[in-house]
Chain A
């Protein structure tokens, strides 16, 4: 009983989140940076288990951990810095970069929604699938805006990132895509930050293009998804 005020203070939940995250980074490193043991996936699994074990509701946890959640906003703003650093490359390759970002971002969202629809997803689930290729902070922001489930959207984003890394060697071999800039860009559009991290393992150039693709695709998706959403009402059923 005496620990009750502690349960309601942010200190406990922020400390827990940081401690578990450090552990998750260590586990990920030990596992050779496998995308399926991404620190965020490992952290949220461990914290969920702890909360279920202690019978602490998510709302109690989030009332403390929201201070970390808040930092996502300024971090999204900070994505402008890597975008700015790549301005020369973007200017030189403006047309291919813009067309590939637009096409890729629309393909990612529309294909997820259509496959979801065909396999019987309801409206909220379709909305939640739509931002799945967008970097999580932007995806959470989009989900909050369009009435999807933000935390489920964040989870789907992470799984999509892991899948993109998994598919990458196969896709690149199939298309004989050997250029590092092109590989990084493909990974960034589809697999956001996780794809970008994977691209950095090819080269710094691949990583820079991954980061560029992630930022552009995230911003595009944030603008076009809310515009495309009314089309959902045209779907039969």
Chain B
């Protein structure tokens, strides 16, 4: 468990370092995710400790979003001044995105009858 958590932190640290060295505009943790994905692919399995630490974190991920979300209180004026624009953008864009992806799915190989192995969650 501790080793698994250490592995996650090391991947993130490596990601952050790459972002600084290569001046990438991407969040370091996303690069860390790609590093972990490559390591898992090379190893051919997810070690139990990494799975335990990772799935533990993912199961309470919403909790970690709260501190940043509370920061909304700093933006009441921005929201009040732009609520119409924000509402329109969110409603319109969400509908357009779902229709576009839905149509692509409809035309793609993801057709009825496609069966995959069941997910482990």
Which of chain B's residues has its CB closest to A220's CB?
B30
Q: Quick check: is B22 within 8 A (CB to CB) of the other chain?
A: no
With contacts A129-B86, A190-B97 known, is A179 near B105, CB below 8 A? yes
Residues on A facing B (Cβ under 8 Å): 17-18, 20-21, 38-41, 43-44, 47-48, 51-52, 58, 61-62, 65-66, 68-69, 71-89, 93, 95-97, 99-100, 103-104, 107-108, 111-113, 115-116, 119-122, 125, 129, 132-133, 136-138, 140-142, 144-146, 149-152, 154-156, 158-160, 163-164, 167-168, 171-172, 174-179, 181-183, 185-187, 189-191, 193, 204-205, 207-208, 211, 215, 218-219, 222-223, 226-227
A-B residue pairs, 4 tightest by C-beta: A151-B71, A141-B27, A226-B25, A78-B54
B102 to nearest A CB, angstroms? 5
Do B100 and A107 touch across chains, with their CB atoms under 8 A apart? Answer: yes
Interface size on B, residues (CB 8 A): 81
Question: How would residues 42 to 72 of chain B score, 1 for a CB under 8 Å from any chain A CB and 0 otherwise?
Answer: 0000100011011101100111111111111
Do A151 and B12 touch across chains, with their CB atoms under 8 A apart? Answer: no
Instruction: Give chain A's interface secondary structure class.
Output: helix
With contacts A81-B46, A115-B92 known, is A74 near B27, CB below 8 A? no
Which of chain B's residues has its CB closest to A51's CB?
B73
Choose among B53, B86, B99 the residue that contacts A78 (Cβ–Cβ < 8 A).
Answer: B53
Which of chain A's residues has its CB closest to B74's CB?
A58
